[in-house]
Chains A and B, each alone.
Chain A
Amino acid sequence: MPGLGTSFGRGGATTAQQDLANADCILIEGSSMAEAHPVGFRWVMKAKERGATIIHVDPRFSRTSALADIWVPLRAGTDIAFLGGLVRHLIENNLFFREYVVPYTNASCILSDEYRDPEGNGDGYFSGWNEEKRAYEGDSWLYKGGDLSRPERDLTLQHPQCVFQKLKRHFSRYTPEMVEKICGIPPELFHKVADALVAASGPKKTAAVCYAVGWTQHSKGVQIIRAAAILQLLLGNIGRPGGGILALRGHASIQGSTDIPTLYDILPGYLTMPHKGDQTLQQYLDTYTKKTGLWSGYPKYMVSTLKAYYGKRATAKNDFGYSWLPKLTGNHSFFEFLYDMLDGKMEGMFLMGQNPAVGAPNSRLQRKALSKLKWLVVRDMVEIESANFWRESPEIDRGELKAEDIETEVFFFPAAGHAEKEGAFTNTQRLLQWREKAVDPPGDCRSEAWFMHQLALRLIAKAKASDDSIDEPLRALDWWYPEDELGDPKTEAVLTEINGWYTDPVAGVGDSSGNESVVFGIDREGNPHHGKQVNGFAELKADGSTASGCWIYSGVLGRDGVNKANSRKSKDYLGHGWGFAWPGDRRIIYNRASARPDGSPWSERKKLVWWDWDSDKWTGIDVPGFVKGKPPDFEPEVGAEGLDAIPGDAPFTLHEDGLGWLFVPKGLQDGPLPTHFEPLESPVSNELYSHNTNPPEHWIGTRHRAMQSFHLC
């Protein structure tokens, strides 16, 4: 997610699976797509039928390799060396798509004089390394002058401190011979891949990259994805039909589970979870709001989220209830809280849709940690191992744990199956698809929504009966959701809240009668609850007059009252009319880049979105990902803020400078450019740098901690 996010702006696949059919070359790496995404793979086969070259890079010869034109076996964990080799090949031989790279990427941006790359002494460190803290710090990766909004640029790419020259220097040692040494790929094979990619680059051609958990589950997954992003930017493939990077997600709604996160450190729509230092709303907003680009709207998204949580109790006077949000005090990711559990620091846990006793690394450690809990709630369709670890587990068999010594009280709740509940899934290509309930769940089985809803009602009732200030956040929750006959919250009402609305209630509004533009307008007490829905996040306000549960999903159930996630009439090859793709039903994001800087399509064959001089607006096959009326030759005024500061030829509007980031000046902890390091467990020494593995602290820390735990247990 940070790999795509820092390179382009959004942590989601840049394209749709259907669009792979338009590719002239498809590079599949870190995925056995034919086996794990067989339905999406039809579009790869379609592309192949049309003459595209399919490349599969994988240590193992799988069914995907059997269908590929070129199979490239590489040593596991050496992806950055291979991709870096391709980057070097493009730069050294002047094969990159210059007309695209110069205006649309930060290749021309001048970096700070303090920036140093690992080539200096070949140790693998960038500038800013603090040996004591074992972390990078400071601002030496920033553009010259420190302002990300208006970087100084050299469009000839000759300036010694410009990103392009730094990129060239950084990858200069990633030669085909070095690739052979590190990855085990012979130079002839390397050149076959390079030639196929170069042949599919330019105004009339595009290539796509597909990856899956074969990249993301690497300890350095972010940097592998970064390397692919650099490659695709140099080839000019982002935002164009048949191009892009397709992150193939692991299973149903994995994309959804980061959009509306199950992660500890983000809020819906990739807003940052407040840290303990972010004491007031103003402090928090000052830290995370960008001066230019789409993230300049941060206060609108955040206040609307708070309004969705706390309703009319959130006012400008009380910082819209910001103080009720929990604040992070440290790392509470999966492994960290496992250690806390093991140390007896965690009393209880709700376990839903997961089975750590057999499904997580070091399951012995997992089961031992579970045995330290006082209570454990497990919701599943069958009694899974995590629910009966206290009586049936290898540790019990071996006598390491005794059932009579385990004090964990396990509450097992039967769960509804996928056909027994309704709701939306968000798939690999950011597409929300609604599914309806086929049958009621049997017996006492209930959906997750039912469980959370009923639990919330009970907790809120308890909190209301107490006057303890610690219960204030519960008392403040605006739990208004209407119910169906089983006691489930009406999930379309939740979707309406996610979409967002004007907070001023409209009187006389019924579920589907009265003012038809307002759906589910009545709360549980029968009072008008909210006003009409917003049509998209552009309508959100920071003054509390709007609410939205997840700003990036805004538009899924807009003013017309139609649940677009449930629409099933596809109108074009990109699938408009079938489901709803965030943001704003855009199927290929950053699609301003599908037109030349002057607004005309790169070629007839690869047209997608272009500037229409007659009507003075962006138009095309996809929903334009750009301010509709901003002409291609628009030059922002000095000191302009927000989207007004983004020029008419800058497609990556979430970045302050509107450019695709070959070099990441801010937002990554382990280096602005991908660097080949050996995996933690590698027995091989690093051919490129004196450091074998990536230096930053959390690696070493995690490893040390893991070793320690192995020892202890």
Chain B
Amino acid sequence: MIGEGTKSTNQRRHSYVQEHVEVGFFTDPTVCIGCKACEVACKEWNHVPDDGFVWSGNSYDNTGHLGASTWRHVMFVEQDRQKGNQIVGSHSLGNGDGEDPFRWIFLSDVCKHCEDAGCLEACPTGAIVRTEVGSVLVQNDVCNGCGYCVVSCPFGVIDRRPKPLPDAGGAFKCTFCYDRQKSGLVPACAKVCPTESIVFGRLDDLRARATHRVQELHEHGYDDAQLYDPRETSVGGIHAFFLILGEPEAYGLPPKPQVPTIYLKSAWTAAFATAIAAIIATLLAFAFFS
């Protein structure tokens, strides 16, 4: 809860790494104020280089998307819809003067740290590993920059860092501040979030808390509040899950994310069948012409 001070799971020290406890992030846009402190803290702690100061003109979002040098991204979603019972503009007063409803939602996006992670499964060098707390970590000194992980991420999170940035060529993404966690500290983004929109903690606690929050919001008129926590698909659940208002597509989140490896069987079968057909065709050709 907001304002618990040092008792908050976002502030107190822990030993989840030592105790092998599954941890996660729960991100709640209904209290996010779009301050981007998470983006800044992430860059500062992890020494993530700047990747250009570009003015996008897209709402307040100049970050654009997650990538090799952006491990937290605050989305600014503008929609012609009502947010709960919020009164903004004449539409929500029921004036009927034809003005569309509108709402502005902020949501801090991050690597989902999938249970069955596409990047990890695709990595040929073993650079990507799973940690004691269930997060997915890229070991940059092992990564050879092949880029297989990039196309294997169902969320478009991981990317290779372009030149001339430091360590260019390697693949990068959120580390879940594994270095901090080993020392009992919480990830930098959660630590600085002023309204505890990002909550860090035990995955099971967070899920209970998130369910409660959705109920609470439903009672307060946020009819379209739901959790984005795909556990039924092949990613098998994620460690960074979100509360969203409306549909996941509006946040660039795939409604049914799949690990690419589930297509391996059909892909290989098709390839095998094609190969056989080609060989037969070749043999037939020889037989025909001779």
Using known A-B contacts A39-B194, A186-B95, determine if residue A45 contacts B33 with beta carbons closer than 8 Å. Answer: yes
Using known A-B contacts A42-B2, A42-B196, A43-B3, determine if residue A49 contacts B87 with beta carbons closer than 8 Å. Answer: no
Segment among A59-67, A301-309, A409-417, A514-522 that sits at the interface with chain B:
A59-67
CB distance from A691 to the nearest CB of B (A): 33
Say yes or no: A69 contacts B3, CB within 8 Å: no
Complex contacts, B17 vs chain A, CB 8 Å: none
Q: Is A254 an interface residue (CB 8 A)?
A: no
Q: B85 touches which one: A34, A51, A65, A69 (CB < 8 A)?
A: A69
- Interface centre among A41, A42, A51, A570, by most B CB within 10 Å? A42
Q: B88 touches which one: A34, A42, A65 (CB < 8 A)?
A: A65
- Taking CB as reference atom, which chain A residue is nearest B33? A34
Say yes or no: B5 contacts A570, CB within 8 Å: yes
Q: Mark B1-30, 1 if CB is under 8 A from A, else 0.
A: 111010000000000000000000000000
Q: Is B86 an interface residue (CB 8 A)?
A: yes
- Taking CB as reference atom, which chain A residue is nearest B37? A38
Q: Is A95 an interface residue (CB 8 A)?
A: no
Q: Is B215 an interface residue (CB 8 A)?
A: no
Say yes or no: B3 contacts A18, CB within 8 Å: yes
Q: Which secondary structure dominates where chain A touches chain B?
A: helix
- A303 vs B33: C-alpha distance when bound (angstroms): 49
Say yes or no: B194 contacts A38, CB within 8 Å: yes
Say yes or no: B106 contacts A186, CB within 8 Å: no
- A61 vs B105: C-alpha distance when bound (angstroms): 13
Q: Mark A12-49, 1 if CB is under 8 A from B, else 0.
A: 00000010010000000000001100110111011011
Q: Is B143 an interface residue (CB 8 A)?
A: no
Complex contacts, B95 vs chain A, CB 8 Å: 186, 188
Complex contacts, B196 vs chain A, CB 8 Å: 42
- A51 vs B194: C-alpha distance when bound (angstroms): 19
Q: Is B93 an interface residue (CB 8 A)?
A: yes
Q: Is B103 an interface residue (CB 8 A)?
A: yes
Say yes or no: B33 contacts A41, CB within 8 Å: yes
Using known A-B contacts A18-B3, A189-B87, A570-B5, determine if residue A63 contacts B34 with beta carbons closer than 8 Å. Answer: yes
- A49 vs B209: C-alpha distance when bound (angstroms): 13
Complex contacts, B234 vs chain A, CB 8 Å: none
Q: B194 touches which one: A21, A41, A70, A186 (CB < 8 A)?
A: A41
Q: Is A192 an interface residue (CB 8 A)?
A: yes
Complex contacts, B93 vs chain A, CB 8 Å: 186, 188-189, 192
- A68 vs B89: C-alpha distance when bound (angstroms): 12
Complex contacts, B87 vs chain A, CB 8 Å: 69-71, 189, 192
- A167 vs B245: C-alpha distance when bound (angstroms): 46
Say yes or no: B31 contacts A48, CB within 8 Å: yes
CB proximity to A under 8 Å, residues B192-212? 194-196
- Taking CB as reference atom, which chain B residue is nearest A573? B3
CB distance from B3 to the nearest CB of A (A): 5
Q: Is B272 an interface residue (CB 8 A)?
A: no
Say yes or no: A38 contacts B31, CB within 8 Å: no
Q: Is B35 an interface residue (CB 8 A)?
A: yes
Q: Is B104 an interface residue (CB 8 A)?
A: yes
Q: Mark A42-86, 1 if CB is under 8 A from B, else 0.
A: 110110110100000000010111111111000000000000000
Say yes or no: B35 contacts A38, CB within 8 Å: yes
Complex contacts, A35 vs chain B, CB 8 Å: 33, 35
Say yes or no: A66 contacts B104, CB within 8 Å: yes
Using known A-B contacts A189-B87, A192-B87, determine if residue A63 contacts B33 with beta carbons closer than 8 Å. Answer: yes
Chain B interface residue number, banded: 20 to 34
Q: Is B274 an interface residue (CB 8 A)?
A: no
Say yes or no: A46 contacts B104, CB within 8 Å: no
Say yes or no: B35 contacts A34, CB within 8 Å: yes
Complex contacts, A38 vs chain B, CB 8 Å: 33, 35, 37, 194-195
Q: Is B90 an interface residue (CB 8 A)?
A: yes
- Interface centre among A65, A189, A570, by most B CB within 10 Å? A189
CB distance from B194 to the nearest CB of A (A): 5
Say yes or no: A42 contacts B3, CB within 8 Å: yes
CB proximity to B under 8 Å, residues A188-224? 188-189, 192
Complex contacts, A18 vs chain B, CB 8 Å: 3
CB distance from B207 to the nearest CB of A (A): 19
Complex contacts, B220 vs chain A, CB 8 Å: 51
CB distance from B7 to the nearest CB of A (A): 11
- Taking CB as reference atom, which chain B residue is nearest A65? B88
Q: A46 touches which one: B3, B60, B90, B103 (CB < 8 A)?
A: B3
CB distance from A68 to the nearest CB of B (A): 7
- Taking CB as reference atom, which chain B residue is nearest A70? B87
Complex contacts, A192 vs chain B, CB 8 Å: 87, 93
CB distance from B44 to the nearest CB of A (A): 15
Say yes or no: A41 contacts B195, CB within 8 Å: yes
CB proximity to A under 8 Å, residues B75-117? 83, 85-90, 93, 95, 103-106
Complex contacts, B104 vs chain A, CB 8 Å: 61, 63, 65-66
CB proximity to A under 8 Å, residues B127-178? none
Say yes or no: A66 contacts B31, CB within 8 Å: no
- A21 vs B195: C-alpha distance when bound (angstroms): 12
Complex contacts, B105 vs chain A, CB 8 Å: 66
Say yes or no: B2 contacts A49, CB within 8 Å: yes
- A567 vs B80: C-alpha distance when bound (angstroms): 49
CB distance from A44 to the nearest CB of B (A): 9
- A192 vs B88: C-alpha distance when bound (angstroms): 12
Q: Mark B238-263, 1 if CB is under 8 A from A, else 0.
A: 00000000000000000000000000
Say yes or no: B88 contacts A71, CB within 8 Å: yes
Complex contacts, B35 vs chain A, CB 8 Å: 34-35, 38, 63
Complex contacts, B31 vs chain A, CB 8 Å: 45, 48-49, 67
- A192 vs B87: C-alpha distance when bound (angstroms): 9
CB distance from B213 to the nearest CB of A (A): 9
- A521 vs B93: C-alpha distance when bound (angstroms): 67
- Taking CB as reference atom, which chain B residue is nearest A66? B104
Complex contacts, B86 vs chain A, CB 8 Å: 68-71
- Taking CB as reference atom, which chain A residue is nearest B34? A63
Q: Mark A368-404, 1 if CB is under 8 A from B, else 0.
A: 0000000000000000000000000000000000000
Complex contacts, B83 vs chain A, CB 8 Å: 66
- A43 vs B5: C-alpha distance when bound (angstroms): 12
Beyond contacts A46-B1, A66-B103: 17 other A-B pairs, Cβ-Cβ < 8 A, are A21-B2, A35-B35, A42-B195, A43-B2, A48-B31, A49-B1, A63-B33, A63-B34, A63-B35, A63-B60, A63-B104, A64-B33, A69-B85, A70-B86, A71-B88, A188-B93, A192-B87
Q: Which residues of B contact A (CB under 8 A)?
A: 1-3, 5, 31, 33-35, 37, 60, 83, 85-90, 93, 95, 103-106, 194-196, 220
Q: Which residues of A contact B (CB under 8 A)?
A: 18, 21, 34-35, 38-39, 41-43, 45-46, 48-49, 51, 61, 63-71, 186, 188-189, 192, 570
Pick 18 A–B contacts, CB within 8 A, sort by A: A34-B35, A35-B33, A38-B37, A38-B195, A42-B2, A49-B2, A61-B104, A63-B35, A63-B60, A64-B33, A65-B88, A67-B31, A69-B85, A69-B86, A70-B86, A70-B88, A189-B87, A192-B87
